[in-house]
Amino acid sequence: MKKNKKPAGIIYTVKCEITGEFYVGATTDSIHQRKIDHQERAKRGDKHAFAQAIATYGVEAFTWKQTDTASTTDELARKEKEYIKKLD
């Protein structure tokens, strides 16, 4: 019996329910871990736009969703760019 192969990474989208803005990201970790990472960056005063949005509106203002998966890190990077372009 074949085991299900774990994807190399996850594409996720995050929507700010206050502004309606979308953010796209890619991770080789879980979405939960990535959310924690973003929260920590916001607390440290990171100047990245998404970290600033979390600091401004609070993490509870954002809805996180797994959008896609990728088998390789190259595919992950390509898909992230495609989703950014699509939601821009």
Q: Is residue 1 part of a domain?
A: no
Residue 4 covered by a domain: no
53: in domain: yes
Please report the pLDDT score of residue 72 as a whole number.
95
Instruction: Compute the residue count for the chain.
Output: 88
- What is the tens place of the pLDDT at every residue in 18-67? 999 999 999 999 999 999 999 999 999 999 999 999 999 999 999 999 99
Higher per-residue confidence, 13 vs 3 = 13
What integer pLDDT is reported at residue 6 of this predicted model? 72
Give CA–CA dist 21/32, Å, rounded: 20
Domain membership of residue 30 (yes or no) is yes
Asked if residue 72 is part of any domain, the answer here is yes
Mean pLDDT over 71-88 rounds to 95
Domain holding 45, by residue range, is 9-87
Q: How many folded domains does the chain comprise? A: 1
Phi, psi of 57 (to 5 degrees): -100, -15
Ramachandran region, residue 25 (left: φ > 0; alpha: ψ -120 to 50; beta: rest)? beta
